[in-house]
Every structure is written in C-alpha cells, then in structure tokens.
Amino acid sequence: MALVTGASRGIGAATAAALAGGGRRVAVGWHSDAEGAKATVAAIEGAGGEAVAVGLDVADAGSVDAGVDQVEEALGPVAVLVSNAGIAADGLVARMSDDRWRGVMATNLDGAFHVTRRVVPAMMRARWGRIVTVSSIGAYVGAAGQANYAASKAGLVGLTRALARELAPRSITANVVAPGAVATDMTAALDGIRRDQITSVVPLGRMGTPEEVAAVIAFLASDAAAYVTGAVVPVDGGLGMGS
C-alpha cells in the first residue's frame, strides 16, 4: 500500500488519487484538514479504490510513528511512500526569525526523515519499495525570500540520494520530483501580479496542475520505473531547464 503525506488537498490529494487509480490501497495523511482528507478518501472510494485517512504531523516523530502503526494495521506495510507534506513561510534572511527557519525545516526536511525512517524497515524486509520526495525547483534555482524553503527542499535531494544508495541493494528506489509553479492553495497565496510574473517565464506559459505532478510521481512509484533511482525529475513546464 501507499502512504502519501499531506494528502488532504493539492498535489498530495491528486497523488493519492493517481496511486489508487493504479490499483494501490492508499493511506491519505493529513495534518490540519481532516475534512479535506475525508474528501480525498471519498473521491478514491467513489472511483472504486480503497483508502483510509490518517492524522499524522510529519514534524512530530511520535505522531508519525503512531500514524504509521495505524495505517499498517488497516492496510498492511507501506510499499510506496510519497513525502509530499510541505509548507512555506517566506521572508528575507536578514529578518528571518529562528521560528520561521525551524518551522519550515521541521515540516519539509525533518518530516520526510521521520516518515522514511519509520517505513523503510518494512520495505527492506519486503525487498521492494518506492520512495518519492516532493522537492521544488526552488531547491536548485533558489528564490529570494525563500531561504528556509529552498534549503529544506535542497536537503530533500541529499536525503533522497543517500536513501537511493543505501536501499538500492534491496530493490528500493528513491527519487525526487521537483515541481515548478503548480496551481494549488500554496500558490493561491501569491497575488495575481506575482503569478503573472511566474507564468510569463515558464516556457509552457502556464502553471502546472496537481494531476500533472501526480502522474510523474505515480510513474516513479510503479514497477515500470524499476531502473530509476536517485533522480531529480522536474515537472515545471521547462522553467528550470538547464539548471
């Protein structure tokens, strides 16, 4: 079965639906939006799939361990992990508080570590597994006002590549998906002018959809991607080309 963190909405919800559409049972991880997670589960069940919602704050190792215990009881061991939960708390470095820095690192980077540590032993026993972490184009092109976010997302690349090497002998792959600008609640927080500025420099001339990111994640989670590991796959309309 597959566990997707932060799956109450946006890219996570679309990923849960895509994996369920491919025949996997899915655990829909949520943190603050129980209703969103219920809606994700209902949509999957409505399409004939199987899913459960699980409350799980990735920043809190105890919550992760308890959440994964619950998921394993309901659906069995985690074979596919999508570490998608993420937040942004933008601000210029000169004025960034420790809390703003730590908060983003705790969710985006520590969070992926906590969940991976908890699910990897079962993958190792099964000698099969798929780990996909959701980073960002910001990890390698940077973004003014997003030092905390970019650092956390770059950290995910290092984490995932270390995992790829550690786990390759057990046929477990670990890959990164790096979205560009995707139309979700995260980008809805930007004002219209900023959104227009971003789309004007995207070669494909528009934002991506959560489903377009989910399709790439679902491929990396599939048997067809057995020979892909340690990769960083951009889903950015060409925005980060060459970087």
Site membership for ligand NAD, residue 234 (CB under 6 A): no
Among 3, 40, 51, 86, binds ligand NAD (CB under 6 A): 86
Q: Which is nearer to ligand NAD, 33 or 72 (CB)?
A: 33
Q: What minimum distance in Å lies between the beta carbon of 188 and ligand NAD?
A: 8
How many residues touch ligand NAD under the rule CB under 6 A: the total is: 29
Residue 79 near ligand NAD by CB under 6 A: no
- Is 31 one of the binding residues for ligand NAD (CB under 6 A)? yes
Burial (0-12, 13-18, 19+ Cβ within 10 Å), 66: middle
To the nearest whole angstrom, how small is the minimum distance from the Cβ of residue 27 to ligand NAD? 12
Rule CB under 6 A: say whether 18 interacts with ligand NAD: no
Of 53, 131, 182, 214, which one interacts with ligand NAD (CB under 6 A)?
182
Kindly state whether residue 11 participates in binding ligand NAD, applying the rule CB under 6 A. yes
Task: Give me the phi and psi of 26, to 5 degrees please.
Answer: -130, 135
Is 143 a binding residue for ligand NAD by CB under 6 A? The answer is: no
- Quick check: is 149 catalytic? yes
Interaction of residue 35 with ligand NAD, rule CB under 6 A: no
- Residue 4 Cβ vs ligand NAD, minimum distance, rounded to whole Å: 10
**Contact stretch for ligand NAD (CB under 6 A) within 19-27, 123-131, 161-169, 185-193:** 185-193
Q: Is 181 in the site for ligand NAD (CB under 6 A)?
A: yes
Tokens at 225, concatenated: 């991607």
Cβ distance to ligand NAD smaller for residue 137 or 167: 137
Note whether 10 binds ligand NAD by CB under 6 A.
yes
CA nearest neighbour of 131 among 153, 112, 104: 112
Q: Which of 16, 68, 81, 84 is the binder for ligand NAD (CB under 6 A)?
A: 84
User: 113: closest CA among 155, 168, 78?
Assistant: 155
Which residues contact ligand NAD (rule: CB under 6 A)? 5-6, 8-12, 31-33, 56-59, 84-87, 107, 111, 134, 136, 179, 181-182, 184-187
Active site residues: 149
